[in-house]
């Protein structure tokens, strides 16, 4: 009799224990706990970004782990890096094919030897000031974005680390200087870059580079140059503002603000550099006489008449009036 009672007591104890364990498991699952890790709840709350307490007054320091940082890293090292490589390679391929099948735009007549001033000394200094800073920013910026992928396999970690440290300092200091140059260019040249109806004809033949027939009438600035001018302003403001936000984190910027600014800055900068290939191509090997005009400030009369006929007629008219006035 005693043995049967003992068995019943043990059975009830085991059954009660099992029910207690099962109820505990169901309870912890109901509140979303990971029963395999007693610290799971704590780290789950941390990753949710709930603020704690700290005596540090800097924005964001109350949150131990900011999960958006991992999201930013995945965007930066993922889609941004892949997008940058693809769009730059595509632009270089298109430019190479254009040069191969279309070729440079040569002068249709021999040079006359008559020179016309196209750019003043101040305009040339401003252009080359901005151009040099742009090249520095493009090289250092792309190095910071793609350096680990492209440079480490070639030069190793030590050289790449030293170069990227120098690139970061140079990039940060040259950025505001480039923004100043872009704003000055806007003030000086905006009056020449107002879109006009005749600009539409330029795009049909790329100023006479595609197809046959007479070249479109063009003033001092053609439609392609006007498009580049306004892209400089739009891209310049976008990378300039976001660059200032990243360069000077002294206005209470949050981590989210810095992360968003970086994504915008890098995306627009890559587009800026890619579009600049077209401008550089046209100004060097694409059109004969453009580069020497920006270097010396003067262009041949035949070149002016071929590419900017309305501006050429205006300059000849001014020259005739000066000749009559002097006589």
pLDDT for 324 equals 57
H helix or E strand, kind and range, residue 282: none
Alpha carbons 64 and 49: distance in angstroms, whole number: 7
pLDDT for 210 equals 85
Alpha carbons 226 and 239: distance in angstroms, whole number: 20
Closest CA to 105 of 202, 196, 199: 202
Classify domain 74-326 at the CATH topology level.
Answer: Fumarate Reductase Cytochrome B subunit (1.20.950)
The domains of the chain are located at 74-326
Residue 251 gets which letter from DSSP? S
pLDDT in tens, 75-125: 888 899 999 999 999 999 999 999 999 999 999 999 999 999 999 999 999
**Ranges assigned E (strand) in the chain:** 115-117, 298-300
Judge whether 253 and 241 are in contact, CB under 8 Å.
no
Closest CA to 234 of 280, 188, 271, 197: 271
pLDDT for 138 equals 96
pLDDT for 223 equals 94
Alpha carbons 172 and 170: distance in angstroms, whole number: 6
Helix, strand, coil % in the chain, rounded to nearest 5 = 75, 0, 25
Low-confidence ranges of the chain (pLDDT < 50): 28, 31, 33-35
Alpha carbons 304 and 311: distance in angstroms, whole number: 8
Closest CA to 182 of 228, 140, 247, 143: 228
Alpha carbons 108 and 91: distance in angstroms, whole number: 28
pTM of the model: 0.79
Per the structure block, which two tokens stand in for 157?
């970690």
| Structure-derived torsion over alpha carbons of residues 22, 27, 28, 30, reported in degrees to the nearest 10 | 120
What are the residues whose beta carbons fall under 8 Å from the beta carbon of 178, sequence distance 6 or more? Answer: 130, 133, 134, 137, 236, 240
User: The tokens 């008219």 sit on which residue?
Assistant: 317
């Amino acid at each position: 009799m005693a043995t049967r009672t003992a068995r019943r007591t043990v059975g009830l104890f085991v059954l009660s224990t099992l029910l207690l364990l099962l109820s505990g498991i169901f309870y912890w699952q109901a509140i979303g706990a990971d029963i395999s890790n007693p610290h799971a709840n704590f780290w789950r709350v941390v990753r949710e970004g709930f603020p704690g307490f700290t005596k540090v007054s800097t924005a964001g320091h109350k949150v131990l782990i900011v999960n958006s940082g991992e999201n930013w890293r995945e965007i930066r090292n993922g889609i941004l890096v892949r997008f940058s490589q693809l769009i730059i390679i595509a632009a270089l391929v298109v430019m190479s094919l254009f040069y191969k099948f279309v070729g440079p735009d040569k002068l249709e007549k021999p040079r006359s030897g008559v020179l016309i001033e196209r750019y003043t000394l101040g305009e040339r200094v401003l252009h080359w000031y901005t151009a040099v800073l742009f090249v520095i920013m493009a090289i250092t910026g792309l190095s910071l974005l793609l350096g680990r992928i492209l440079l480490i396999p070639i030069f190793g970690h030590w050289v790449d680390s030293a170069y990227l440290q120098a690139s970061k300092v140079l990039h940060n200091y040259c950025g505001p200087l480039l923004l100043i140059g872009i704003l000055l260019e806007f003030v000086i040249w905006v009056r020449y870059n107002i879109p006009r109806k005749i600009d539409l004809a330029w795009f049909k033949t790329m100023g006479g580079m595609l197809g046959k027939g007479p070249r479109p009438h063009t003033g001092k600035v053609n439609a392609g140059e006007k498009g580049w001018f306004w892209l400089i302003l739009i891209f310049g403001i976008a990378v300039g503002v976001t660059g200032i936000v990243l360069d000077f984190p002294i206005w209470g910027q949050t981590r989210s603000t810095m992360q968003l600014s970086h994504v915008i800055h890098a995306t627009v900068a890559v587009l800026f550099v890619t579009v600049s290939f077209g401008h550089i191509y046209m100004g060097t090997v694409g059109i004969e006489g453009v580069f020497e005009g920006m270097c010396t400030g003067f262009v041949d009369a035949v070149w002016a008449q071929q590419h900017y006929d309305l501006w050429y007629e205006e300059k000849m008219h001014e020259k005739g009036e000066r000749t009559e006035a002097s006589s």
